[in-house]
Amino acid sequence: MPEILLNGRPVQARGDQTVLQVALENGVFVPYFCWHPQLSVVGNCRMCLVEVEGRGLDIACNMPVSAGMKVLTDSDDVKAHRKAILQFITLNHPVDCGICDKAGECTLQDYHYAYNGEKSLSVDDKVRSTKFYNLSNRILLDNERCILCLRCTRFTHEVSKSMALGVERRGDVSNIRPVEDRPLGEDPYSDNIIDLCPVGALLSRQFLHKSRVWYLTPTPSVCPGCERGCTIRIWHRKPEWFVKSLDPRQNTAIARITPLENPAVNGPWICNKGRDLARIFERVRAEAPMLKGRPVPLAEALDAARRLIGAARHPVALVSSWGSNEELEAFKRYLGEVFRGHVKRDWLPEEGERIEDDLLIRPDKNPNTARARELFDEGEPAYHDGTDLVLVWGEGYDFARIPPQARVIFLNAYLQPENGHAEVFLPISIQTERAGHYTNFQGTVSAFEPCFPKAAAVTDAETLFRALAAPARGHP
Amino acid sequence: MPGRQLIMSFPVTATSHSLDEYRARGGYGALEKALRTMTPAEVTKEVTASGLQGRGGAAFEVGRKWQVVVYDDGQPHYLIANADEGEPGTFKDRWILENNPHVLLESMLISSYALGVRNCFVYIRGEFDLPYRRLAGAVEEAYAAGYFGERILGTDFCCDIVVYRGAGAYVAGEASGLIASLEGKKGYPRNRPPRLTVKGLYQRPTVVNNVESLSNVAWIIAHGAAAFKEIGTPKSPGTRLFSVSGHVNRPGVYEVELGYPWMKFLEEDCGGVRDGRAIKCVVPGGVSSKVLTGAEIRDLPLSHEALWDAGSTLGSGGMIVIAEGTCMVTLSQILMRFYHHESCGQCTPCRHGMGWLHRIMDRIVAGQGRPEDIERLYYISKFNDGTTICGLGDAAGYAISGILDKFRGEFEYYIEHKRSRFQGNLECPRSS
């Protein structure tokens, strides 16, 4: 363990570390643009210049530690050079923060205030370049804002391996460009480059000019897109910034989804499906309990369901693999003795969706199959002539498979044709409306928290299971 | 004749570059000597003892570079001859490639033997046409004569050579940029560490030497390090090829024994300055070296140490003589245009600094200069010095700050009067 002097303070380092890593680990912040813990070192932004006594300035991200080296991260020389590097970086940068989606979470903006704070020394015209360059149907590129840190190209080469991006031309007219025949649109991880971009050069089309980021707040959650269970942040409007005059649905809409870094599961990445969860969660909701398609109050629907359960002799249940650990356990606790539960895959891979790869994407497209399989039986229930009641929890089950003599209790969150075919239909809440946990395929449990209030007239499945169990305990 | 000659020691004729004539001059004798009588370690020792310095610009000792490579570390090693001669004013390697390609090949074979190299490369700049054809012809001749391939000269030594043509980037002449380009990537220089002699081409130990540096190896092995050290000065042994251009009567490539008096060389060998004018300044070794005025060079010998003491360097040997009456502002504009065009755009200070320098120079030449522009030029060169991955940013800074240090008045005149003191003149009439 070599010991180095960091601003005069002795700190322990591992031999394979760089000065930048040691500094960050020991609470000494050294600014950087191009360095990223998950990507190779290119050392091209030159922002992390530090001084080594006796050796002058060099970049910390590529400097191996050696015993006894004296590193200064805040000397006058370092400060002067940082300031100059920011002058160079902003020389051709449009500084159009007022219309840039990145403003508020932009590294360049932060560093400018922290380390430069002066206007440009240049009086000459800036180099113009392409704006709104179409990288894919998800991402736009503003080359004028780009600082060529090459995080995006390295991501496509080293992490997603789509090799979709490269640099065209040289000097101050260098541009990030897609590589021929390797469309970025086919990279299922492409949107990570938007988060990686330290400036506002890579723009999400979904989020383009949708909101200033300081109007939003993130809620930690778990992506239900597959059994990997990546941790995510669901960004939505802060209550103090709720709009009143415009469409108030904005207040309860998902603004964007970003990864929540989690070394145990997904590292700093998520796939594009995880960014598109609004497509799943913001479908039209089922909001009324129904008896054979006729809207009724909840109490009436519950009574009917209890009667069915009480009368059933061979009831089976299809348990949702989108249920949280708490809900699955509640089902087991309250209804496990009545129903024989079978794990149901609510979602199957969609057409064109990547089934599996060696980065994150897993073949089972449900978040909690692992826990469901621990509690319930695998496979289709063995229906027979005596099967008289089927409880279906969650979507994605073909009712044609249910024997015609069986009555159906259906719990679903979305407006779907099957809702009206069930004997009893009960609307339930969705993930963004409640707290809970999912267990991923590796057995790692991750928590999600509610982002929005529950839609009117829907109930958490957990509450319903308790209510449904009531007659089974002595009230026939 | 400016001293003794090692590489240009024969009259150039239509066939003097051929294998037959090279052998008639004693060629490939050094290879025989090395393979039959010396161990690889002895060859390295001899080259180290000769004190041969790199001829590409930095004048780093060749032997010291070689010593980093561990002969039997079990990895493949590579040797690359850097023939991407792109420094403005430099065209000396071109002479070797055109007129004496076999001395390079023989030297590369000896060097490969010393370094444990199975495959060596020549990275030749894409614009070179005749040099490429001559070199490719020489490689064919050498293969046919059994100097390359398996079991060379009946020994266990095997070596193959690849001649690779560059695609026209100045930074690909920087050793790590060259390697990136040779690997088929964009010619981006690499950060050190690791050094190229530790992880170079294909992440293996690689020695990159300039064509002229390598071409001395055959002579050193043939005649011994002691004989080499007798030539030149104690700190700068050997000779250097200078490509002289600019306002002299006889421009061209000259082999000069190091330590030879500079003015004597210019007056006697190069025929003096055109039109009988005085020397305003000289770019000693490619435009990336700082200019020296006529007065500064008067008593200087041509040796590395003398130039370092004078605050400049012999660099790549591209000597540009500039006569009185030349506009240094216009000259600077042209230089900055070059660096702007050639910046690879990888790291921040150079990517933006080169364009900034160029735009300021353009504006001054267009008569729209501002008094603070001079400070700005200094600012850009200061913060490019030592902050970039490769030396291009530094070099542009040296070039502009070197000219500014010595001819600041001309810039101030141009900015104040919105015109050149010398009518923007870059030409000088030939002496009649």
Tell me, what's the pLDDT at A453? 92
Tell me, what's the pLDDT at A472? 43
C-alpha dist (Å) from residue B8 to B98, B125, B227, B240, B255: 12, 22, 17, 10, 6
A42 at the B interface (CB within 8 A)?
yes
The answer to whether B243 and B317 are in contact (CB under 8 A) is: yes
Smallest CA–CA distance, residue B185 to chain A, in Å, is: 11
Level-2 CATH architecture, domain B328-417: Up-down Bundle (1.20)
Q: Which residue of B has its CA nearest to A42?
A: B191
The answer to whether B325 and B422 are in contact (CB under 8 A) is: yes
What is the C-alpha to C-alpha distance for residues A327 and A413, in angstroms, rounded to an integer? 14
Inspect the interface and report whether the beta carbons of A84 and B379 lie closer than 8 Å. yes
Q: Which of A42, A57, A121 sits opposite B387 (nearest CB)?
A: A57
The answer to whether A340 and A472 are in contact (CB under 8 A) is: no
Inspect the interface and report whether the beta carbons of A147 and B356 lie closer than 8 Å. no
Inspect the interface and report whether the beta carbons of B356 and A122 lie closer than 8 Å. yes
The answer to whether A434 and A450 are in contact (CB under 8 A) is: yes
Inspect the interface and report whether the beta carbons of B354 and A171 lie closer than 8 Å. yes
Inspect the interface and report whether the beta carbons of B355 and A170 lie closer than 8 Å. no
E strands present in B247-278: 252-257, 260-261
Tell me, what's the pLDDT at A1? 81
Q: Is the dihedral of CA A355, A360, A362, A367 positive or negative?
A: negative
Residues of chain B with a CB closer than 8 angstroms to some CB in chain A: 169, 186, 191, 193, 340-349, 351-356, 359-360, 363, 370, 376, 379, 382-383, 386-389
For residue A294, the SS3 value is strand
Tell me, what's the pLDDT at A258? 97
Tokens of A169: 């031309």
Reported confidence tier of residue B16, pLDDT bands at 50, 70, 90 = very high
Task: List, for residues B196-243, the tens digit of each pLDDT value.
Answer: 999 999 999 999 999 999 999 999 999 999 999 999 999 999 999 999
Cβ-based contacts of B342 with chain A (< 8 Å): 170-171
Tell which A residues from 360 to 389 touch B, by Cβ distance under 8 Å. Answer: none
Inspect the interface and report whether the beta carbons of A171 and B355 lie closer than 8 Å. yes
For residue A13, the SS3 value is coil
DSSP assignment string, B166-209: --S-GGGGSHHHHHHHHTTS------SSSPTTTS-GGGS-EEEE
Task: Give the ipTM.
Answer: 0.92
A50 at the B interface (CB within 8 A)?
no
Inspect the interface and report whether the beta carbons of A169 and B344 lie closer than 8 Å. no
What is the C-alpha to C-alpha distance for residues A106 and A93, in angstroms, rounded to an integer? 13
Q: Which of B346, B353, B387 sits opposite A81 (nearest CB)?
A: B387
Inspect the interface and report whether the beta carbons of B348 and A121 lie closer than 8 Å. no
| CATH for B239-323, options being 3.40.50.300, 3.40.50.620, 3.40.50.2300, 3.10.20.600 | 3.10.20.600
Cβ-based contacts of B349 with chain A (< 8 Å): 46, 84-85, 88
Q: Which of A42, A123, A170 sits opposite B344 (nearest CB)?
A: A170
Tell me, what's the pLDDT at A248? 85
For residue B282, the SS3 value is strand
Polymer length in residues for chain A: 476
Q: For a pLDDT cut of 70, what percent of chain B falls above it? A: 100
The partner residues of B282 in beta bridges, in order of sequence, read: B292, B321
Give this prediction's pTM. Answer: 0.92
Count Cβ atoms within 10 A of the Cβ of residue A459 and give its class: 0-12 exposed, 13-18 middle, 19 or more buried. middle
A120 at the B interface (CB within 8 A)?
no
Inspect the interface and report whether the beta carbons of B347 and A44 lie closer than 8 Å. yes
Reported confidence tier of residue B2, pLDDT bands at 50, 70, 90 = confident
Smallest CA–CA distance, residue B186 to chain A, in Å, is: 8
For residue B321, the SS3 value is strand
Q: Which residue of A has its CA nearest to B360?
A: A124
Tell me, what's the pLDDT at A475? 44
Chain A interface, best mutation among B347, B357, B385, by max A CB count within 10 A: B347
Q: Which residue of B has its CA nearest to A18?
A: B193
DSSP state of B430: P
Inspect the interface and report whether the beta carbons of B351 and A41 lie closer than 8 Å. no
CA B360 to centroid of chain Cα atoms: 29
Inspect the interface and report whether the beta carbons of B355 and A127 lie closer than 8 Å. yes
Inspect the interface and report whether the beta carbons of A121 and B351 lie closer than 8 Å. no
Q: Tell me the domains of chain A and their CATH numbers.
A: 3-74 (3.10.20.740), 290-473 (3.40.50.740)
Tell me, what's the pLDDT at A471? 56
Tell me, what's the pLDDT at B114? 97
Tell me, what's the pLDDT at B432? 60
What is the C-alpha to C-alpha distance for residues B405 and B63, in angstroms, rounded to an integer? 35
Count Cβ atoms within 10 A of the Cβ of residue A457 and give its class: 0-12 exposed, 13-18 middle, 19 or more buried. middle
Question: What are residue B159's phi and psi, to 5 degrees?
Answer: -155, 135
Inspect the interface and report whether the beta carbons of B352 and A59 lie closer than 8 Å. no
For the cut 70, the answer to whether the pLDDT of residue B268 exceeds it is yes
A91 at the B interface (CB within 8 A)?
yes
DSSP state of A384: -
Q: Which of A44, A124, A167 sits opposite B363 (nearest CB)?
A: A124
pLDDT tens digit at each of 476 positions of chain A: 889 999 999 999 998 999 999 999 999 999 999 999 999 999 999 999 999 999 999 999 999 999 999 999 999 999 999 999 999 999 999 999 999 999 999 999 999 999 999 999 999 999 999 999 999 999 999 999 999 999 999 999 999 999 999 999 999 999 999 999 999 999 999 999 999 999 999 999 999 999 999 999 999 999 999 999 999 999 999 999 998 888 888 899 999 999 999 999 999 999 999 999 999 999 999 999 999 999 999 999 999 999 999 999 999 999 999 999 999 999 999 999 999 999 999 999 998 899 999 999 999 999 999 999 999 999 889 999 999 999 999 999 999 999 999 999 999 999 999 999 999 999 999 999 999 999 999 999 999 999 999 988 899 999 999 999 875 444 44
B19-230 under CATH 3.40.190.10, yes or no: no
Please report which residue ranges of A74-162 form alpha helices under DSSP H: 76-91, 107-111, 151-154
Tell me, what's the pLDDT at A276? 95
A125 at the B interface (CB within 8 A)?
yes
Inspect the interface and report whether the beta carbons of B387 and A85 lie closer than 8 Å. yes
How is chain B split into domains, by residue range?
19-230, 239-323, 328-417
Inspect the interface and report whether the beta carbons of B352 and A91 lie closer than 8 Å. yes
For the cut 90, the answer to whether the pLDDT of residue B389 exceeds it is yes
Inspect the interface and report whether the beta carbons of A172 and B348 lie closer than 8 Å. no
Cβ-based contacts of B352 with chain A (< 8 Å): 88-89, 91-92, 172
The residues near A324 (Cβ < 8 Å, ≥ 6 apart) are A368, A431, A434, A436, A437, A438, A448
DSSP assignment string, A183-211: -GGG-TTTTHHHHH-SSTTEEETTTTTT-
Q: Are strands A3-6 and A9-12 parallel, antiparallel or unpaired?
A: antiparallel
Smallest CA–CA distance, residue A201 to chain B, in Å, is: 16
Inspect the interface and report whether the beta carbons of A88 and B351 lie closer than 8 Å. yes
Tokens of B285: 């070794």
